[in-house]
Chains A and B, each alone.
Chain A
């Protein structure tokens, strides 16, 4: 006998960090229809950036769009503003930006993996990952001065330099973190119980990914090789510091976890190269000009492509700021993924998608 049930989930739920509302229509255990409401966090940042704040302040305001990838937002905005002003920032500032972006990627991916483990019901693994993640938080604090909201990039460069002491500490702690992560990688790859919850669950194929316009680890796990880092060489020198594209084929929860792990191992290499090849130069390039015209900039945040469009009219206050966050592109894919799955698989799938609602709704 078939019974159709409607199960609401959210906006407050133990498996969710953020207010997000799903309405699942289930036939027995199978999900047949999904409705998502992602607008709970709408604060009106875009308008405030174009009316209340001067363009130099905006880079700190947009950091508050999202606490997980605040460095991506500040950097993407700063890059767009620098294009408008015609500023050429020093290579050293670019290297420092890459350093913090990669450290941020480490902590964001680890949080996502921890969350996936917790929602699967593996509490011990969650605790273990959170313990290891603290190393990356300490390093971020060491480099930028704060644990979460760094305000590291500003228009024209970055706000802090690193010293040799910090460099030594970075190398030491990252080596430790890397061995810890190798252990965790082994667990995620070979644990039999985890494979039952992850393999073949929540899969999308490359064709669907392209149709639904998904980005980030979600797309790369299904074999679609898109990554902004591979084609924005003019903004940040990614190839020079050893960036590699990480692609998996199956597109399920397991593949997404593996993609995240492999990206983190790549981040270690990138950070190592950045520290080794740190050039000399100014931290900030100053200018007195006001922004005039239009510019866009793109950056690979931990969740995918982040896009900024800004328009200036030769006054200190911008005319328009438009933010397109990675989760916004992925929402259509989320809905498609849930269809045909068991209801019990919803929490792990949702965590592995790594939704960031404050980015989406702004």
Chain B
């Protein structure tokens, strides 16, 4: 109970550089400096995916980085929020369609907040991270929601049709 209540008050950040130019990374570092001071939101920069709630990604995802990126994402415990910092993390930016890059983070893992700018300013990063906090709190609540299966679970080709299952679930949640 306590953990869930206070998670959004003290989120821990994991930062991964997926092939960026360092521009956005030093702006993330600048966010930690006394002038901007994200620590006043209770955030701490950690190096351990298993303890973090927010994943800050910079860079267009190079071919060598993408496995590590997915690895890190899957090691983080639920609920988690992904923030893509900078234009190149959001869409590929200048690096779009170069042979070593992959046009943005959301081709590989779901992104919750995209921060624009090349390089994104510390103020923008903070705005993005604060938006991420709201999403984190929401995800936290969603996890606790009781899930009741309503209606019939349909089967096609011997497999559960997950899309229809989600539809019935949503409908019941809306009713409650």
| Interface residues, chain A, with chain B CB atoms under 8 Å away | 11-15, 17-19, 39-45, 47-48, 52, 60-61, 64-68, 70, 111, 127, 130-131, 133-134, 137, 146-149, 356, 358
**Residues of B11-67 contacting chain A, CB below 8 A:** 16-27, 29-30, 32-35, 45-49, 59-60, 62-65
Interface size on B, residues (CB 8 A): 43
**21 A-B residue pairings within 8 Å (CB atoms):** A13-B47, A14-B45, A18-B17, A18-B22, A19-B64, A19-B65, A41-B59, A41-B62, A41-B64, A43-B98, A48-B98, A61-B94, A66-B22, A67-B20, A67-B22, A67-B26, A68-B23, A70-B23, A127-B34, A146-B119, A148-B27
Of all chain A residues, which has the CB nearest B120?
A: A148
Q: How far is the CB of B128 from chain A (nearest CB, A)?
A: 16
Contact A148 B119, beta carbon cutoff 8 Å: yes
List of B residues within 8 angstroms of A39 by Cβ: 64
Contact B118 A149, beta carbon cutoff 8 Å: yes
Query: Is B80 part of the contact surface with A, judged by Cβ < 8 Å?
Result: no
Supposing A17-B22, A43-B19 touch, asked if A134 and B35 sit within 8 A by C-beta, the answer is: yes
Q: How far is the CB of A156 from chain B (nearest CB, A)?
A: 21
Contact A47 B33, beta carbon cutoff 8 Å: no
Q: How far is the CB of B40 from chain A (nearest CB, A)?
A: 13
A18-B22, A134-B33 known; 13 other A-B pairs, CB under 8 Å?
A13-B47, A15-B47, A17-B17, A19-B17, A19-B19, A41-B59, A41-B64, A48-B97, A64-B94, A130-B33, A147-B121, A148-B119, A149-B119
Contact B30 A130, beta carbon cutoff 8 Å: yes
- Which of B20, B118, B119 touches A358 (beta carbons < 8 Å)? B20
Of all chain A residues, which has the CB nearest B61?
A: A43
Contact B99 A44, beta carbon cutoff 8 Å: yes
Complex CA gap A188/B97 in Å reads 45
Contact B68 A12, beta carbon cutoff 8 Å: yes
Contact B24 A67, beta carbon cutoff 8 Å: yes
List of A residues within 8 angstroms of B101 by Cβ: 43-44
Complex CA gap A146/B95 in Å reads 20
Contact B22 A358, beta carbon cutoff 8 Å: yes
- Which of A44, A64, A130 touches B100 (beta carbons < 8 Å)? A44
List of B residues within 8 angstroms of A111 by Cβ: 26, 29
Query: Is B72 part of the contact surface with A, judged by Cβ < 8 Å?
Result: yes
Complex CA gap A35/B72 in Å reads 23
Contact A17 B29, beta carbon cutoff 8 Å: yes
List of A residues within 8 angstroms of B119 by Cβ: 67, 146-149
- Which of B32, B64, B98 touches A45 (beta carbons < 8 Å)? B98
Of all chain A residues, which has the CB nearest B19?
A: A41
Contact A130 B18, beta carbon cutoff 8 Å: no
Contact B25 A19, beta carbon cutoff 8 Å: no
Contact A356 B19, beta carbon cutoff 8 Å: no
Contact B27 A131, beta carbon cutoff 8 Å: no
5 nearest interchain CB pairs?
A: A67-B23, A14-B47, A130-B33, A148-B119, A44-B100
Q: How far is the CB of B155 from chain A (nearest CB, A)?
A: 42
List of A residues within 8 angstroms of B24 by Cβ: 67, 148
Complex CA gap A121/B64 in Å reads 31
Contact A43 B100, beta carbon cutoff 8 Å: yes
Supposing A41-B62, A44-B99, A148-B119 touch, asked if A68 and B18 sit within 8 A by C-beta, the answer is: no
Contact A19 B23, beta carbon cutoff 8 Å: no
Mask of B84-104 contacts with A, CB within 8 angstroms, 1/0: 000010000111011111000
Contact B47 A18, beta carbon cutoff 8 Å: no
List of A residues within 8 angstroms of B46 by Cβ: 14
Q: How far is the CB of A114 from chain B (nearest CB, A)?
A: 8
Contact A127 B33, beta carbon cutoff 8 Å: yes
Contact B22 A131, beta carbon cutoff 8 Å: no
Q: How far is the CB of B38 from chain A (nearest CB, A)?
A: 12
- Which of A11, A45, A131 touches B33 (beta carbons < 8 Å)? A131
Complex CA gap A208/B132 in Å reads 49
- Which of A15, A65, A147 touches B21 (beta carbons < 8 Å)? A65
Contact A19 B22, beta carbon cutoff 8 Å: no
- Which of A42, A61, A64, A358 touches B64 (beta carbons < 8 Å)? A42
Contact A47 B98, beta carbon cutoff 8 Å: yes
Complex CA gap A172/B118 in Å reads 29
Contact A137 B118, beta carbon cutoff 8 Å: no
Contact B95 A131, beta carbon cutoff 8 Å: no
Of all chain A residues, which has the CB nearest B100?
A: A44
Complex CA gap A149/B58 in Å reads 15
Complex CA gap A11/B71 in Å reads 12
